[in-house]
Structure 1
Amino acid sequence: MHAKQVRATIGLVLVDDHAILRQGLRSVLEREDDLVVLGEASSEPEADAVVRATHPDVVLLDLKLSTGSDFEGLSLCTRLSASHPEMGLLILTTFLDEELVVRAVHAGARGYVVKDVDTTELVRAIRIIATGGSAFDPRSAAVVVRSLSGRSEPHQQLTDREMEVLRLLAAGFSNNRIGEKLYISSTTAKFHVGNITRKLGVSGRAEAVYAASKRGLI
């Protein structure tokens, strides 16, 4: 009779501002014999404290941790990566934005998956990251490959959402009005405007509209 192969236990911390989502994740992940949720957090300060107390192998981290900031998780990712370099950071979020994926990688994330990922793929990603590897779902992986190969020409990489924001910029809308029109927060609108100006190589909103017009984007 063959002995059953036993996997090394992987300790996890879940960081998300929605308790129901954390509970659902815990329920799904702890069905796996080798995955143990050591703690949960809903904010940056809680995450710092829980990680210090539990020393997890992998942290599953959402990018949006409060109503005040849509991408607070990026700063947390940067800090955790610097203070716990041996720990794996996996971004699990609703956002699939080219700029966000690249920024998350630069912030120290070893993986990036969108929340509609299949459970099997999520578990696989966690196991890969726990062993020091990198794991991205197919969509985010394509972004990373383009970035690393140097084929991301800024003015060619405006997302569909950024194009929507750009058209509203051209109409003279403020961040608040853009948010209202697109059903996003003004913080998110400001984030997209910042991406647009950076990608177009300009420093202001008016310049962005002018540059986009010259390039035939609007």
Structure 2
Amino acid sequence: MTEAVEAGPASIDIVLIDDHAIVRHGLRSILEREPDLRVVGEASTIESARAVVDQARPSIVLLDLKLSTGSDTEGLDLCATLVADHPELGVLVLTTFIDDHLVMAAIHNGARGYVVKDVDTSALIRAIRDISRGGSAFDARSAAAMVRGIHAGPAETDNKLTGREQEVLELLSRGMSNGEIGKKLFISDTTVKFHVGNILRKLGVSRRAEAVHLAGKMGLI
């Protein structure tokens, strides 16, 4: 994790989240050639990412979905957490993975854009600027995947609980409040509320007690 740095008022402040230092260094050197772009922090893990975003308060996060050898998609949970904690944040997924369900899952978790790592420099910079202005940004392949996902309708995998949602559900079943769950998982009350909302939506219920009852019948807890 690097320390936040001062940025001019006209700059677009960016945090890079990728588990490979060489990728982060390459992105920094490319982005900081632009007068309006400033990299204000870097992170390689979920924990350091949350810390540097809290400290640096960027307007944009470039996020890889694979942050460890144990999972190819743990960045999805991180995306949801960052957006829940910082609703104004623009998350642009920059990854090597591309499929319909993954693109749709990133969008459902709050990402405003999705591009693959072989995107050309000008397209990446344009995507960052578009998101900084409140828009969205998708390269040709991710846009096509998104269209297919929309036309296909909700897929079964879209309703599958994430690892973090499963943890929250199990703690809900113990009767814990949002505050208690937050302390247990070292996340904010706002993030817990976000995950609870996703759990209710995915299970098709409107109350926490209903979610716990249904999850028990489904063998989820």
TM range (shorter): 0.5 to 0.7
- Distance in 2 between residues matched to 1:96 and 1:63, nearest whole Å: 10
Counterpart among 101, 109, 124 of residue 126 in structure 2 = 124
In terms of Rg, which structure is larger?
Answer: 1
Query: 1:60 deviation in Å?
Result: 0.1
Query: 1:97 deviation in Å?
Result: 1.2
Counterpart among 41, 44, 50 of residue 48 in structure 1 = 50
Runs (5+) with no aligned partner, structure 1: 1-6, 156-218
Q: Where in structure 2 are the equivalents of 1:16-35 lying within 5 Å?
A: 16-35=18-37
- Alignment RMSD (CA, Å): 1.9
Query: 1:152 deviation in Å?
Result: 5.1
- Distance in 2 between residues matched to 1:81 and 1:153, nearest whole Å: 22
> What is the aligned partner in structure 1 of residue 5 from structure 2?
none
Counterpart among 73, 87, 90 of residue 88 in structure 1 = 90
| Amino-acid identity (%) | 63
Kept in 1, the 8 Å contact 2:100–2:149? The answer is: no
Q: Where in structure 2 are the equivalents of 1:158-177 lying within 5 Å?
A: none
Structure 1 residues 95 and 48: alpha-carbon distance in aligned structure 2, compared to 1, 3 A threshold: same
Q: Where in structure 2 are the equivalents of 1:129-168 lying within 5 Å?
A: 129-148=131-150, 150-151=151-152
Q: Which amino acid aligns with 2:24?
A: R
Q: CA-to-partner distance for each residue in 1:59-112, whole Å, 9 max, x for gaps?
A: 000000011111110000010111111010000000011111010000000000
Q: CA-to-partner distance for each residue in 1:127-156, whole Å, 9 max, x for gaps?
A: 0001110000011111222333x345969x
Q: Which amino acid aligns with 2:15?
A: V
- Distance in 2 between residues matched to 1:132 and 1:82, nearest whole Å: 17
Query: 1:124 deviation in Å?
Result: 0.1
Runs (5+) with no aligned partner, structure 2: 1-8, 157-221
Divergent runs of 4+, >4 A: 152-155
Given the alignment of the two structures, is residue 99 of structure 1 paired with residue 105 of structure 2, yes or no?
no
Equivalenced residues, count:
149
> What is the aligned partner in structure 2 of residue 10 from structure 1?
12
Given the alignment of the two structures, is residue 111 of structure 1 paired with residue 113 of structure 2, yes or no?
yes
Q: Which amino acid aligns with 2:27?
A: L
Q: Which amino acid aligns with 1:40?
A: E
Q: Which amino acid aligns with 2:148?
A: R
Q: CA-to-partner distance for each residue in 1:1-56, whole Å, 9 max, x for gaps?
A: xxxxxx93100000000000000000000000000000000000000000000000
Q: Which amino acid aligns with 2:84?
A: A
TM-score of the pair, normalised by structure 1: 0.65
- Distance in 2 between residues matched to 1:68 and 1:13, nearest whole Å: 23
Kept in 1, the 8 Å contact 2:101–2:149? The answer is: no
> What is the aligned partner in structure 2 of residue 69 from structure 1?
71
Q: Which amino acid aligns with 1:73?
A: G
Q: Which amino acid aligns with 2:98?
A: L
